[in-house]
């Protein structure tokens, strides 16, 4: 069972990073910057040790910075996602608590739960990314605007991906 988790998570890791670097980084949308790679951290099994989640987040961020000349932005924002993930999971745990093999995805936790989970963690990520990018609160509203439209773009893609993965399960 453990092996299966490692393989599926590694495949997801490479696919999402490739999609991010080769496709979403080069889209000509201007202010909208679609970032789907936080999904790598969000979909790790619930009982992945917190320190491991944190380190995976940090190194994933470094890889993204390396391939998209981010200069530390992806690292800083994704590490924060890696840290706060546990707090969100803790707050939103099912009534009976988390089970050993639980994965926080749309198939196991349902659409509404997944909606809030992705919304909160992607908001943390995008907010940090865009405010660290300008490195100040100057032009606050224009940065917020950028954050929000990018969030809408990223979450649309993320929910689309999870809808497809849901259908696959049913068949």
Partner 1 sequence: MRGIYYLLTRFYVLITFVFLEIVALTLIYKTNSYQEVKFLNTSNAFAGNILEKFNSINSFFHLGSNNEALQEENVRLKNLIQYQDSYPTDSILPTSTLQYRFKYIAAKVVNNSINKSINYITIDKGKKDGIVKGLGIVSSNGVVGIITNVSENFSLAMSVISVKTQISVRHQKTDALGNLHWNGENPFLLQVGGLSKTLPIKKNDTIVTAGFSSLFPPNIPVAIVKTLEPDESSSFYRMDVQLTNNINSLRYIYVVKNERKNEIDSLEMNRINE
Using the rule CB under 8 A, which residue among 67, 113, 127, 159 binds partner 1? 67
DSSP per-residue codes, 42-93: HTS-TTS-HHHHHHHHHHHHHHHHHHHT-TTHHHHHHHHHHHHHHHHHHHT-
Residues 87, 93, 94, CA angle at the centre, nearest 5°? 175
| Residue with token string 């924002």 | 77
Residue 54 near partner 1 by CB under 8 A: yes
Using the rule CB under 8 A, which residue among 133, 148, 157, 159 binds partner 1? 133
Contacts 24+ apart (CB under 8 A), 112-115: 114/162, 115/159
Those residues with Cβ within 8 angstroms of residue 103's Cβ, 6 or more apart along the chain or in another chain? 43, 44, 45, 46
C-alpha–C-alpha distance, residues 22 and 81, integer Å: 23
Residue 97 near partner 1 by CB under 8 A: no
Residue 33 near partner 1 by CB under 8 A: yes
Using the rule CB under 8 A, which residue among 56, 73, 124, 151 binds partner 1? 73
Nearer to partner 1, 64 or 158 (CB): 64
Cβ 156 to partner 1, closest distance in Å? Answer: 16
Residue 72 near partner 1 by CB under 8 A: yes
Nearer to partner 1, 61 or 106 (CB): 61
Using the rule CB under 8 A, which residue among 134, 144, 152, 160 binds partner 1? 134
Site for partner 1, rule CB under 8 A: 21-22, 25-33, 50-51, 54-55, 58, 61-62, 65-73, 75-76, 79-80, 82-83, 86, 132-135, 139, 142
């Amino acid at each position: 069972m453990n092996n299966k988790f490692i393989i599926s998570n590694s495949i997801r890791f490479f696919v999402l990073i490739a999609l991010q670097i080769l496709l979403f980084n080069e889209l000509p949308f201007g202010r909208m910057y679609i970032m789907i790679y936080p999904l790598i951290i969000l979909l790790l099994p619930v009982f992945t040790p917190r320190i491991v989640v944190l380190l995976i987040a940090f190194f994933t961020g470094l890889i993204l910075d390396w391939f998209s000349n981010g200069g530390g932005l992806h690292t800083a924002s994704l590490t924060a996602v890696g840290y706060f993930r546990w707090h969100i999971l803790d707050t939103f745990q099912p009534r009976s608590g988390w089970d050993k093999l639980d994965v926080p995805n749309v198939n196991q936790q349902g659409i509404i739960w997944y909606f809030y989970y992705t919304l909160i963690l992607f908001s943390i990520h995008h907010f940090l990314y865009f405010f660290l990018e300008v490195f100040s609160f100057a032009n606050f509203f224009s940065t917020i605007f950028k954050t929000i439209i990018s969030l809408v773009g990223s979450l649309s893609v993320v929910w689309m991906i999870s809808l497809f993965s849901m259908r696959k399960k049913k068949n």
